[in-house]
Structure 1
Amino acid sequence: MSRTEVPPGTAKAVRVAAGDLVRVVDVEGGQVGDVFAFTDGGTELAEHHSAAHTRAGVDKLFPAVGESFVTDRRRPILTLVGDTSPGEHDMLIPACDPARYAALGAPGHRSCAANLREALDEAGLTFTGPTPQPINVFMRVPIGAGGRFSWLTASSRPGDAVTLRAEQDCVVVVSACPQDLVPISDAGLSPLAIETVRNGGTRS
């Protein structure tokens, strides 16, 4: 198993092959993570996970174990194969970005949108399109009466993990969300980890 630490408020990118497992671990508990996935087509990425196409494909707000996340070309890219958390995740809320923090009175605050670009740049990759809507693991935003959102603190516990199987060669980026102005993560920011297991062995 290869393990990549994602420090609080930052992001890391990993490359995985079809059949590999990617496990996103909430190290200390209560930390929301933004997960992005791109088809690995070289250094310039284009096809990516699409929350809207996934919702249409599974006929629900978030896939169940055994169901797949699909790309903007409606091709499976990741399949949810395991979840040891309470199972509360989100795929409606966009990645936090500089404009969001400026509106909250915190210009210059770190964001998942910027983290994504930084992680790709660190890996020698580029994506020129708009920031995709992420898979928000461990994020609790239930829909109440009148369709209103409730922004609740993550209920994931230390060591809880979501396990995804790559359905094609892809690049997965995980951002330990830096949002600390809206209480979606418990007791401040904490790290996440990405564990990758190669189909039949360990992937570095």
Structure 2
Amino acid sequence: MSSKPTFDHARIEQLPRSNSEPCGHNHTLDTPISADGTPVLGERYEVAARGGRAVRLKQGQTIRIINTHGTQVCDTWAFSSDNLNEFMSWEHGRAWLSGLIPQVGDPLMSNRRRPIMTLTADTSPGIHDTLMAACDLFRYMTLGVEGYHDNCADNLRLAVKAIGIDAPEVPQPLNLWMNIPVNDQMKVDWCPPVSKPGDYVELRAEMDCIVAMSSCPQDIIPINGEDCVPVEVHFEVYE
């Protein structure tokens, strides 16, 4: 992680001004699970390495998100199907929980301070992140990347566009399995996940919602394992 980020202001000004528009494209736009994101219940879907996918959940349905290899961070969002301007918000969620990481049984709150999902199962050690913004092209620019780099913010935008909607913005995601310890000086570190292959979380929809996931493309710092190699994750939807 660069301690002295640089900012290419001219390049930034050439990128889309709308938070709904991606800064580039990858396979995410061309690989929706279905035309409108409706899943086949019980079917296992892949979120390919460096890409994203979106799925529609009805109230009461549960999504199981699986860390197939144990090393992969999965940025996760939820938007109300009735109003995309209501979404899972960790500014609000941390206040509700009086904590940084949700535990089994905790509601995941929307920006209208009501549950949009509930964490109902977690087979991992429970280390996730609610502090860090989704990686975006601007982040990779500060890390010295030239040209386009896949990123979670664009994966969200592209995943929901693939099922016919636009995200009004890129909220703070629930960064599943991302290991960002906070020390007693209130400093943070960027560490590999402590989950193991096959660990999963289950999230129950408390309203009709669209869930988007990104298999984080970060390959410069070791949040996706010491080898810095992004891989796929999987998910299933149940009644």
The question of 1:63 aligning with 2:91 is answered no
Distance in structure 2 (CA, Å) of the matches to 1:140 and 1:74: 26
Question: Per-residue deviation at 1:139?
Answer: 0.6
What's the counterpart of residue 135 of structure 2?
A: 96
Distance in structure 1 (CA, Å) of the matches to 2:102 and 2:168: 27
| Alignment RMSD | 1.0
Distance in structure 2 (CA, Å) of the matches to 1:50 and 1:193: 23
Larger gyration radius, structure 1 or structure 2: 2
Q: Secondary structure at the match of 2:129?
A: coil
Q: Secondary structure at the match of 2:156?
A: helix
Higher normalized contact order (CA 8 Å, seq sep 6+, divided by chain length): 1
Matched residue count: 195
Verify the 8 A CA contact 2:78 2:210 in the aligned structure 1. yes
The one of 32, 35, 46 aligned to 1:5? 46
Q: Secondary structure at the match of 2:155?
A: helix
Question: Per-residue deviation at 1:128?
Answer: 2.4
Paired amino acid for 2:238:
V
Verify the 8 A CA contact 1:5 1:191 in the aligned structure 2. yes
Distance in structure 1 (CA, Å) of the matches to 2:233 and 2:78: 17
The percentage of counterpart residues that share the same residue type is 42
Q: Which consecutive aligned stretches of 4+ in structure 1 deviate over 4 angstroms post-superposition? A: none
The one of 189, 192, 195 aligned to 2:236? 195
Question: Per-residue deviation at 1:45?
Answer: 2.1
The one of 155, 166, 169 aligned to 1:126? 166
Gapped runs of 5+ residues in structure 1?
199-204
What's the counterpart of residue 201 of structure 1?
A: none
1:18-61 CA distance string (max 9 Å, x none): 110111101111100100000012xx722111001000111111
- TM-score (ref. length: structure 2): 0.80
The one of 90, 113, 118 aligned to 1:74? 113
Gapped runs of 5+ residues in structure 2?
1-41
Question: Per-residue deviation at 1:2?
Answer: 2.3
Distance in structure 2 (CA, Å) of the matches to 1:151 and 1:128: 29
What's the counterpart of residue 154 of structure 1?
A: 193
Between structures 1 and 2, the one with greater strand share: 1
Question: Per-residue deviation at 1:155?
Answer: 1.4
1:13-32 pair list within 5 angstroms: 13-32=54-73
The question of 1:145 aligning with 2:184 is answered yes
Verify the 8 A CA contact 2:101 2:127 in the aligned structure 1. no
- TM-score (ref. length: structure 1): 0.93
